[in-house]
Structure 1
Amino acid sequence: MASFLRQDQPAAPPAWFVSLAVIGALYVAPFLFRLVTHLSLCLRRPKDLRRRYGAWAVVTGPTSGIGRSFALELASQGMNLVLVDLNAANLREISDTIRSRHGVQTKTVVFDLSSVATPQGDKAMARLKEAIEGLEVGVLVNNAGVAKPGAMYLHEADADAWVRMIKVNLWAVTEVTAAVLPGMVERGRGAVVNMGSASSEAIPSFPLYTIYAATKRYVAQFSRSLYVEYRSKGIDVQCQAPFFVATGMVSRLSETSRLTLLLVAPTPDAYARAAVRWMGHGPPLCAPNLCHQLLWCLAAAVPDPVHDWLRLRANLHHRELFHTRSSTPS
């Protein structure tokens, strides 16, 4: 009788099946975690940024793309804005648009961020400090960045072009943040959002855009360390590292290599809505768009050598197409 009962018991699954199930669960878990986190944030009541951080926000590079959408989204939530960009006419246009749509106050500072660490840059930095003096600056968005030159080998561009990229993407972020932080520390509250890139965080290499990716890696480490330094002082620091967003640069890529068939790129407005909602939530390094979070998980499942091969192949294709386009008479 005992032998009969033992025969009726279901057989234990084989070890290989259990191993595959565990591996599959480990791969699925990050997707589910990011999905649940994103959905919980969407259901959570949005922060009153003005009450939580202060009445004013500083946004660099607010005249186009993500920066413009970020500025408009902050203004829609009642934030007054200090707008920093190198083109005075474009600054007037976005300033007028913000005031007419949302009725908030604006200030503009003409500042070529590639001039940092020069006499001209020192004067511009002095103008920025003067503009924010006495203001309750609660939010800083370091959005301004340079992606050109790109799709080329390091030796193919003039050193001055790389230096300009480094100054805007790295040096200016540091100096502007250092200028705004003292007021936040004094008031015991604030938020700093630095615009990074998935090209330096989600994938192991970004060949032919090497300096760009390297500067964005600095932004990520800069943000992580500031997060640890200043969270006890009531200041939230975050590096947002998106994949592609449908800005002018990405539209140019999609026309040539049809990246839109492979990646879903949100509009700048859609990205800005998610980005503002994520301010003060989650880890110091994040991708506010849900599609970007899932792409991040997919990227983590791909071996580094495969990433390297795919990116080099794709970016060499970009190089060929851009070179053909630039050499074609208009």
Structure 2
Amino acid sequence: MTSSNGTGPKRVLVTGGSGLVGRAIEQLVQGGEALPSEEWTFLSSKDADLTNAAETRAVFARCQPTHVIHLAAMVGGLFRNMKYNLDFWRQNVHINDNVLQTAHEHGVTKVISCLSTCIFPDKTTYPIDETMIHNGPPHSSNFGYSYAKRMIDIQNRGYHEQHGRMFTAVIPTNVFGMYDNFNIEEGHVLPGLIHKTYLAQKNGTPLVVWGSGKPRRQFIYSLDLARLFIWVLREYQEIEPIILSVGEEEEVSIKEAAESIVSAMGFKGEVIFDTTKSDGQYKKTASNSKLRKYLPDFQFTPFSQAVKETCDWFVANYDVARK
């Protein structure tokens, strides 16, 4: 992927650089996918508290970025969101406002923020697309996080209209991969299932999957998403967000995802679906037709291969993985 906009050096600051997507981008950058004109800095929560405006300003003053990939957020799975909706709203609004305003003050050329498909209206038609973000309230289970992420789109529009800024956002579907948070109680569905399967195998107990297994999701491998982020950084010139996802036909049920993990890890025990636990949203099918107009030939890693690579990484790095 080549750069088509400007020949000067790019100093790219990645917030949330130690998380799932940040680590994937770093892996590609260190693996030779950075251009000679690009300098990359990956920021973790240890480097600065982005809910604090002064700390945010200090980090920008130190790094002097020309471009920002904004991944930092307070995140969690369904059950943590249901418990702490206010905290998710406040933390994320503070982080986003500090990063976008400081980027504006520093004359940053481009900011790409990361949204989520959970921001879309709960009552909607499928597939969802980029025009439908503000068409109704999000699912009640994670309204704090969803509204905070939606407001990035509003701010991007504001910075563009008032100041001519190129601030945009991407909307990935369910991301998974190496360096994920594999916490069973508070993490997302796929890493949680990988950790559960590992423990069930180790302890000789059944694998208990929360919910009916019927909800359907589009999963995107973190390395695929990282490649798309780098493309957006260099090539995408719209303020309007873009959904980064596999196609609708790649959607899998939670039951199929669990079966893929069971197969990847060679688990031979019983699999039980605990239907007393909430399913969350039944589906969030997203259209990737806008992405395909730009990148008709982009090759996504097959789901089973990506699951196998993630499971292998987790087993090999069990002691250091986030869990």
Deviations 1:245-297 (A, max 9, x none): 114334235553597983331211111111221332445211133427998xx
Specify the alignment match of 1:80 in structure 2. 39
SS at match of 1:276: helix
SS at match of 2:76: coil
Deviation (angstroms), 1:174: 1.4
Evaluate the alpha carbon distance shift between residue 286 and residue 152 of structure 1 in structure 2; reply closer, same or farther with a 3 A threshold: same
Q: How does 1:104-253 map to 2 (within 5 A)?
A: 110-114=47-51, 116=52, 122=54, 124-132=55-63, 135=64, 137-148=65-76, 150-151=78-79, 156-157=83-84, 162-163=86-87, 165-184=88-107, 190-201=109-120, 203-204=122-123, 205-231=138-164, 235-246=165-176, 247-248=180-181, 249-252=188-191
Specify the alignment match of 1:265 in structure 2. 219
Which 5+ residue runs of structure 1 have no aligned equivalent?
1-44, 88-109, 296-311, 318-330
Identity of matched residues, %: 11
Evaluate the alpha carbon distance shift between residue 179 and residue 152 of structure 1 in structure 2; reply closer, same or farther with a 3 A threshold: closer
Evaluate the alpha carbon distance shift between residue 226 and residue 202 of structure 1 in structure 2; reply closer, same or farther with a 3 A threshold: farther
Please point out which of 51, 60, 65 is paired with 2:20: 65
Could you tell me whether the CA contact under 8 Å between 1:170 and 1:215 is conserved in 2?
A: yes
Amino acid in structure 1 at the alignment position of 2:222: P
Could you tell me whether the CA contact under 8 Å between 1:198 and 1:241 is conserved in 2?
A: yes
CA distance in 1, matches of 2:214, 2:222: 15
**Number of aligned residue pairs:** 213
Evaluate the alpha carbon distance shift between residue 56 and residue 153 of structure 1 in structure 2; reply closer, same or farther with a 3 A threshold: closer
CA distance in 2, matches of 1:196, 1:182: 22
Deviations 1:200-251 (A, max 9, x none): 13644223222111211112222233333444xxx42211111211143342
Deviations 1:132-183 (A, max 9, x none): 3xx4x221111011123742686x54xxx833x3344221121122222233
CA distance in 1, matches of 2:61, 2:66: 16
CA distance in 2, matches of 1:54, 1:236: 17
Amino acid in structure 2 at the alignment position of 1:212: Y
Evaluate the alpha carbon distance shift between residue 260 and residue 216 of structure 1 in structure 2; reply closer, same or farther with a 3 A threshold: farther
Please point out which of 311, 315, 326 is paired with 2:280: 315
SS at match of 1:179: helix
Amino acid in structure 2 at the alignment position of 1:176: V
Could you tell me whether the CA contact under 8 Å between 1:194 and 1:240 is conserved in 2?
A: yes
Specify the alignment match of 1:278 in structure 2. 232
Deviations 1:115-144 (A, max 9, x none): x26xxxx3x234313303xx4x22111101
CA distance in 2, matches of 1:46, 1:69: 19
Which 5+ residue runs of structure 2 have no aligned equivalent?
124-137, 182-187, 195-208, 252-276, 283-323
Could you tell me whether the CA contact under 8 Å between 1:200 and 1:216 is conserved in 2?
A: yes
Evaluate the alpha carbon distance shift between residue 316 and residue 184 of structure 1 in structure 2; reply closer, same or farther with a 3 A threshold: closer
CA distance in 2, matches of 1:238, 1:263: 24
Evaluate the alpha carbon distance shift between residue 70 and residue 222 of structure 1 in structure 2; reply closer, same or farther with a 3 A threshold: farther
Evaluate the alpha carbon distance shift between residue 260 and residue 145 of structure 1 in structure 2; reply closer, same or farther with a 3 A threshold: farther
CA radius of gyration, larger in: 1
Could you tell me whether the CA contact under 8 Å between 2:115 and 2:172 is conserved in 1?
A: yes
Deviation (angstroms), 1:48: 5.1
Evaluate the alpha carbon distance shift between residue 239 and residue 202 of structure 1 in structure 2; reply closer, same or farther with a 3 A threshold: farther
Could you tell me whether the CA contact under 8 Å between 2:77 and 2:189 is conserved in 1?
A: no
Could you tell me whether the CA contact under 8 Å between 1:224 and 1:239 is conserved in 2?
A: no
Evaluate the alpha carbon distance shift between residue 82 and residue 181 of structure 1 in structure 2; reply closer, same or farther with a 3 A threshold: farther
Specify the alignment match of 1:32 in structure 2. none
CA distance in 2, matches of 1:170, 1:152: 18
- Give me the TM-score of the superposition, normalised by structure 2: 0.55
Specify the alignment match of 1:34 in structure 2. none
